[in-house]
Amino acid sequence: MTATSDLLPDTRIVPFALGLAAHGDRPAVITADGPVTYRELAARVDETVRRLGRERRLVLLVGANTLDALVVHLAALASGHPVLLVPGGHPEAVRSLIDAYDPDVVAHPEGGQWVLDERRTGSAHTLHPDLALLLSTSGSTGSPKLVRLSHENLQSNAESIAAYLGIRDTDRAATTLPMHYCYGLSVIHSHLLRGAGLILTDLSVADSCFWELFRSCRGTTFAGVPYTFDLLDRVGFDTMDLPHLRYVTQAGGRLAPDRVERYAALGHAAGWELFVMYGQTEATARMAYLPPHLARTRPGAAGIPIPGGSFRLRPVPDLPGADTGELVYTGPNVMLGYAHSPQDLGLGRTVDELATGDIARLSPDGLYELIGRRSRFVKILGLRIDPGQVEAVLARNGVTALCAGDDEALVVAVAAAVAAGETGTRRIRKLVTGACGLPARAVEVRIVAELPRLDSGKPDYRAVRELRHLCDPAPHGTGPAGGTDPEDLCALYALVLDRRRTEVTRDSTFVGLGGDSLSYVEMSLQLEERLGHLPADWHTTPIGELKPPERQQARSHRRTLETSVALRAMAIFCIVGSHIHVFGIKGGAHLLLALAGYNFARFHLTTAARRERVRRIWTSIGRVALPSMAWIGLVLLLNDDYTLANLALLDSVLGPEDSKTGMHFWFIEALVYILVAAVGLLGLPLMDRVERRFPYGLPLTIAGLGLLTRYDLLGLPARAEIPDAITVFWLFALGWAAAKAATTRRRLVVTAAALATVPGFFPGDPGREAIIVAAFALLVWVPTLPGHERVNRVAGLLATSSLYIYLTHWQIFPLVDGFSRHLAFAASLVFGIAYATGVTRLMRGFPLKAVPSLRRSPSVRRTTDRSRA
């Protein structure tokens, strides 16, 4: 690790970040890819220290619960570079803070890799020697107001937390909160200080994969804000078997006393402890904690000061009594002060104690109790109102709400599930007016899909206040056919992805819920109809962030169609039409192989853990193979066109080679074989790490290896004698690479690869090759095409039903072909769509807990011999 002598004189650092190597080969970070020891982590930090250089620079770090982000953060702390930690996943906030503070270095993810964008070799700013970290107190808004924290702040707060929690080097803490949030960051710091392990993940506690990872890594602790405990209630935390759990911490807002008592009792019965804590970003993280043995008897108390800190009560007008006042904190973790602009980065300490803004009472047993928020008090019609007390009154009456106000009215936000309709609204208004004496006209009850929260899970009171300026919003409908608020969209996701409604939250994403290539079609069409426009990354965007375009009505917005959807619809249309000889547009099946690779990368190669990835790929293989085998088995009972080799999807391996109908399903066999090979490859921990490190380079390498068989450089038997998967998998790999080509240069490379390798694959048929290359280029360069509502629906039906159309058309069109080719063509498409609808409804009836839906699969196709689709 970097020695102090390597740093410029008078450079101040955070000791625990400099001393990582002292913990040796203990596991420091555990991810889905495996463990990283302290010695290995120190080596990576040291390498980044050298990149950052000896001259202090302002480093803006896009926070994420990833090893790369952690390494940059620790490297900066270990070498004296001040870090401006900003929220990942919010590009507007990142841009806003870059514009406001003009950092010297920007560390951020790009194309699956971590980039250090060194904007200058020195610093454009005067940086005070004590300045170590800059954090926002306003969530993801990009506000330029930042908290300035020193090296001493970080070290002392980590030591204090580690002391009262009794953190051991055998502990393993899961990162359940964002790194850019002071509470989440304090978990990281305090455990690294003690040589404990971090289970580094961005999975939500609502995700079953989180608990699989937590158990497999022998997790001993995790942290939660009040909203986290809402999620724990939903996922049945009280029934989970977590044999290594030692304690749970809670902060980030007040947890209702009855819930503190309940979770403390749950922990007592299960053998773990609950630490309720109180803190603010301005105090680095923590100021007080409630000893666990008091959680069941004093659940409403904030507790006692952390080691090294102290409280006093400052008198507040209208609040008589020496035991009540504004809570003021003093300790070595109190911030240097605020920064509003780059000029403030050169300031030293401007505050010595922290006026918390919280109204507290010191009880006779020495515990501090928070009874309100000074800054939240509002005076409405001459009455001094504490919105926090109103929330408490509603909570005692079974209503969870958020309250905020101005000089004219108090706004009460209530979730739709709690208060639906006029009766619920009137009851809540009556409770509020009775509690605080306001007239009914000064209380505005707003029914919302879900209570607004910041990224950290804390209540978003600014959003509550803004509800006053909106019309009274009863939720837009009661189901998927409803409006565009998150509750309606959650219901839509649950329906399309066949998930229980409780499994889908505002934080859920299409990919995270197990969406795949064909459910993508249905979902994108449904969403565009509701929202009027979809961002390119909607499938990885949380539901709560999907909104209609501003100042536009969704119905009037220009319709578009996903290019991959259009190409899949076109491919199955051309395949069936060519087989029936309505026209002769060929190349659809081989294009679909590239599309299958493209969607494989988009929907399976996510940030999910390796085991979850493998599970989902196997599920997709089942969605292709099982419906195919079921249909072929039914046909086997009716005629002798096929053999048991077809039923087992082994015709390309076992033959017979002289069968005129045996190769009808070559595409499905090839796709299944390729997917099996892919899951076998990515199921290896080493290859999983390689793919995450080189998401574009790996598929391009595989495509290059595929050229050995595509050009028959290995002396293989004739193409008719070997499985097609061996000679065509390079197309699948090119589609995979296309999905990961995040830059213009990479898109040019993958397009050039297709242009160079497709020609010559079909000797004497340049038209087919031209169609494949042109469609592939369209996929790479044009994400969406102009659409129309009816055209989009037809394309969506074809793309979604493509597997079933392909499976059934071989048997349907001969029944009508002698009468009319065009009628046979239409009948094949209609029957396939109808069959898809029936199978989909049937499969939704099965109790599939962990499998999202069995009706989807990558696309399909082929003809009577291997080269004729």
Domain containing 404 — which CATH number? 3.30.300.30
pLDDT band, residue 863 (cuts 50/70/90): very low
Of residues 555 and 103, more confidence is placed in 103
Shared domain check, 186 and 242: yes
pLDDT at 141: 55
Distance CA 554, CA 577 (A): 35
Residues pairing with 274 in the sheet:
248
Nearest to 228 by CA among 263, 197, 258: 263
Shared domain check, 263 and 164: yes
pLDDT at 142: 61
Shared domain check, 204 and 227: yes
Cis peptide bond N-terminal to 656, omega within 30? yes
Distance CA 666, CA 672 (A): 10
pLDDT band, residue 488 (cuts 50/70/90): confident
pLDDT at 133: 97
| 482 inside domain | no
Check whether 17 has a pLDDT greater than 80: yes
Nearest to 635 by CA among 646, 622, 649: 646
pLDDT at 743: 86
% of the chain residues with pLDDT over 90? 43
Shared domain check, 288 and 223: yes
| 502 inside domain | no
Helix 802-817, helix 821-844: angle, nearest 10: 140
pLDDT at 558: 60
Mean pLDDT of 295-318: 92
Shared domain check, 303 and 221: yes
Shared domain check, 281 and 406: no
The two structure tokens encoding residue 632: 């072929």
Distance CA 52, CA 49 (A): 5
| Helix (H) or strand (E) run with residue 84 in it | strand 83-87
| 426 inside domain | yes
Contact 314, 328 (CB under 8 A): yes
Angle at 623 between CA 622 and CA 625, to 5 degrees: 60
Span of 414-418, 611-615, 809-813 with lowest mean pLDDT:
414-418
pLDDT at 219: 97
Check whether 146 has a pLDDT greater than 90: yes
Domain count, the chain: 3
Report strand pairing: 368-373 vs 378-380: unpaired
pLDDT at 853: 30
| Helix (H) or strand (E) run with residue 312 in it | strand 310-314
Of residues 514 and 595, more confidence is placed in 595
Domain-terminating residue out of 421, 440, 469 = 469
Shared domain check, 149 and 247: yes
How long, in residues, is the chain?
869
Q: How many CA atoms lie within 13 A of 503 on its CB side?
A: 21
Buried b (16+ CB within 10 A) or exposed e, 810-835: bbbbeebbeeebeebbebbbebbbeb
pLDDT tens-digit map of 813-833: 888 888 888 998 999 999 888
Distance CA 283, CA 152 (A): 12
Shared domain check, 75 and 16: yes
pLDDT at 423: 57
pLDDT at 666: 86
Shared domain check, 407 and 282: no
Using CA atoms, how far residue 4 sits from 80, 130, 342, 777, in Å, is: 10, 16, 28, 54
pLDDT band, residue 6 (cuts 50/70/90): low
Of residues 1 and 253, more confidence is placed in 253
Shared domain check, 419 and 348: no
| 516 inside domain | no
| Helix (H) or strand (E) run with residue 602 in it | helix 588-604
Residue 3 CB partners (closer than 8 Å, separation 6+): none
Per the listing, tokens 């990281």 go with 188
Q: Strand locations in 137-203, DSSP E?
A: 146-150, 172-174, 197-199
Give me the domain span that covers residue 34: 12-368
Q: Write out 6-58 in H/E/C secondary structure.
A: HCCCCCCCCHHHHCHHHHCCCEEEEECCEEEEHHHHHHHHHHHHHHHCCCCCC
Mean pLDDT of 330-343: 96
Distance CA 642, CA 660 (A): 10
Check whether 482 has a pLDDT greater than 60: no
Residues pairing with 368 in the sheet:
303, 362
Domain-terminating residue out of 451, 469, 487 = 469
| 232 inside domain | yes
Mean pLDDT of 745-755: 93
CATH of the domain at 239: 3.40.50.12780
Residues pairing with 505 in the sheet:
none
Shared domain check, 395 and 289: no
| 508 inside domain | no
Span of 264-268, 465-469, 592-596, 742-746 with lowest mean pLDDT:
465-469
Q: Which amino acid is located at 595 in the chain?
A: L
Span of 29-43, 201-215, 381-395 with lowest mean pLDDT:
381-395
Distance CA 319, CA 203 (A): 44
Contact 506, 544 (CB under 8 A): yes
Check whether 772 has a pLDDT greater than 50: yes
Contact 813, 825 (CB under 8 A): yes
Torsion of CA 493, 834, 636, 718, to 10 degrees: -70
pLDDT at 166: 97
Around Cβ 490, how many Cβ atoms within 10 Å? 23
Shared domain check, 385 and 346: no
The two structure tokens encoding residue 397: 């009456």
pLDDT, averaged across the chain: 84
pLDDT band, residue 5 (cuts 50/70/90): very low
| 559 inside domain | no
% of the chain residues with pLDDT over 70? 86
pLDDT band, residue 841 (cuts 50/70/90): low
| 862 inside domain | no
